[in-house]
Amino acid sequence: MLIKSIYHSPHASYGLCKELGFTHVNIPLWTFTNVEQAIISADQARAIGLHCIITPGKDDLSDLKEFFYKALYCPSCIAYLWDEPNLKGIPAKKIKDQTAWFHDQGILTMTVLSPIRSYWGYEDCVDFMGFDYYKEFNLWRKLKLFAKVKEFKDNSPSQFFAVPAVKPGQIQKQFNFWRKWLGMKSFYWYQFFPTQERPRWHDKDVDADESLQAELKKANES
């Protein structure tokens, strides 16, 4: 399965996400009052041909399990387990155990590893493994990241995706690195809204920036 997605796209922009060539939208459970509202949002996405990536709001994943218990008719959805577990000290075995639970329900899992900690030990814990990287690229950083990700990929059975930053004017540059250097075909861009991280990546939401929309659409069509 190819993943072409973007974090935190609001349900009002699902139509735009479809137009831009995204295959999945993010359903972050912590932004909903209850799981039933999240299911309604997921239904709205699926009604226009989008799949969903469901992110939990609770550390014990109880809301994630509740979502899939009540929405088992949604086999195209992916359960996003803990984000950056290697940074947060979440053991790979804990992720593997949860993946086994979701597999028993017929549900695929994913997570994303942080580049500032070792990837070692997480080779076989989810179906889809992502790698984020938000710094400006130079040759040394490209070489270092390439070596780290390639070694992991060579020893892992997971499917892989990149998590680049949504930076105006740099979408194609980032896309080219992940695609040409590391052969990535799936992308999960971060994120639909401007962030408060330093430096600010952009000052408009994706739905308010036509040039950014054009960049993302081009990447999705490549």
Q: Where are the domains of the chain?
A: 4-221
SS3 of residue 40 by DSSP: helix
Residue bearing the bigger pLDDT, 104 or 203: 104
pLDDT of residue 72: 77
CA atoms within 13 A on the CB side of 152: 27
3-state SS assignment for residue 3: coil
Whole-structure pTM over 0.85, yes or no? yes
Q: What is the mean pLDDT of residues 172-185?
A: 97
- Tokens for 14, please give them: 């699902």
**Cβ atoms within 10 A of the Cβ of 9, count?**
26
- Tell me the average pLDDT across 193-206: 85
CB 159 within 8 A of CB 203: no
Q: Is the pLDDT of residue 96 over 90?
A: yes
Average confidence (pLDDT) over 15-20: 98
Q: How many Cβ atoms sit within 10 Å of the Cβ of residue 179?
A: 16
Give residue 200's pLDDT.
79
- Asked if residue 196 has pLDDT above 80, the reply is no
- Over range 119-129, report the average pLDDT: 97
pLDDT at 195 over 90: no
CA 33 to chain centre: 22
Length of the chain measured in residues: 222
Residue 105, classified by CB atoms within 10 Å of its CB into exposed (0-12), middle (13-18) or buried (19+), is exposed
- The Cα–Cα gap between 183 and 192 comes to 24
Q: How confident is the model at residue 53 (pLDDT cuts 50, 70, 90)?
A: very high
pLDDT band at 54 (very low <50, low <70, confident <90, very high): very high
Rounded Cα distance between 61 and 96, Å, is 14
Superfamily grouping for domain 4-221 = Glycosidases (3.20.20.80)
Mean pLDDT of 40-52: 96
pLDDT of the residue at 172:
96
Whole-number pLDDT of residue 202:
85
pLDDT-derived band at 197, boundaries 50, 70, 90:
confident
User: Residue 188: its pLDDT value, please?
Assistant: 98
Cis peptide bond N-terminal to 170, omega within 30:
no
Q: Tens digits of per-residue pLDDT, 64-87? A: 999 999 997 788 899 999 999 999
